[in-house]
Amino acid sequence: MISNINYWDLDAVADSIIRGRKLTDDNLRELLSLTEEEDIQKLNYVARKVRDHFFGNRVFLYSFVYFSTHCKNNCAFCYYNRCNDIQRYRLDMDEIRSIARAVKNETIHMVDLTMGEDPYFHNEPEKFVDVVKAVKEETGLPIMISPGVMDDTTLTKLHENGANFLALYQETHDKDLYRKLRVGQSFDERNHARQFAKNIGYCVEDGILTGVGNDIESTIVSLRGMENGQPDMVRVMTFVPQEGTPLEEVDQESSLSELKIISVLRLMFPDKLIPASLDLEGIDGMVHRLNAGANVVTSIISADSSLEGVVNYDRELEERDRDSKSVIKRLRSMGMEPASQAEFNSIIEKRRTKPARIPVVA
């Protein structure tokens, strides 16, 4: 599909995707197996051509407020799993409002409210509803929620009170691998929450990890699983071993696999949102991910923020270099520009007025 094609024929491959070509499993195997730098560059080129057809040089930006690092789960890969003896925090409402006011000035399109599955909020979900309402009031921006699995009633109430986007990553759609990563958690329950949310008008994001024992066949299962859920945003992130977790001794792989998967995602989801997270390798890593076909920059924080992220490559750095001004400067050096708020809002509005109808697993 890529390896034996001359550069001047790659545009035809991109055009076929734009016209609706679907990748076969054999196509996916070929692309995920690429090892030669020239072939990977060809794949990246096709992904960028497809992205640029749908989005031009426009990039979406969003910030996060990681307002609680408490969690009831014991995920093998996560620094914040309940068994890890670490210092944790839970922001109060005044702190959340203050941070929301700060990120409002960061030239972003959306605020992501992120937490572990904190019993404080999960046992009394009205408290989380109050957080969503407060941040909506302070910013006037679309709100993404990343709370873990919540029941249908709570998801409905959150949506009615301002939540527009649900981020709920399966991490893998390979059920055997899922059991090893999300220890003791229901695969179907997690899938159900995302499907239910989409059906009532949320935009939804699914995501997978790479470098956690997944091989090419496992990755294909995950790609097809995401495809079946018809998400509005799809992501892949390289696993970074975290101190104090069951997987802390795992050798970290390079980001090469992630970059290939980003390009493959662009070919499978040509007109969808695909993030480049600052949480892994900062602005330099953002550039590589955008060059692979991403069109969203996530994990933007204000220059003086000390909030946690998921990976926090920069936890110990005095200058975190993840503010929107720094991001936009680099984007413009690449010939890219932040999209308008109206462009992002149109994505939210399309989902609100045309809810999906995906069969929901009970």
Annotated binding site: 71, 75, 77-78, 112, 146, 169, 171, 182, 190, 235, 277, 298-299
CA gap 262, 281 in Å, rounded:
15
CA gap 198, 163 in Å, rounded:
12
State the binding site for (3R)-3-methyl-D-ornithine.
112, 146, 169, 235, 277, 298-299
Residue 23 contacts residue 268 (beta carbons within 8 Å): yes
* Half-sphere exposure (Cβ direction) of 200: Cα atoms closer than 13 Å: 19
The terminus-to-terminus CA distance of the chain in angstroms comes to: 39
State the binding site for S-adenosyl-L-methionine.
77, 171, 182, 190
CA gap 250, 240 in Å, rounded:
9
Contacts of residue 136, Cβ cutoff 8 Å, sequence gap at least 6: 143, 161, 162
State the binding site for [4Fe-4S] cluster.
71, 75, 78
Residue 162 contacts residue 136 (beta carbons within 8 Å): yes
Helix axes 187-199, 152-160, angle to 10 degrees: 30
The residue written with tokens 């680099």 in the block is: 330
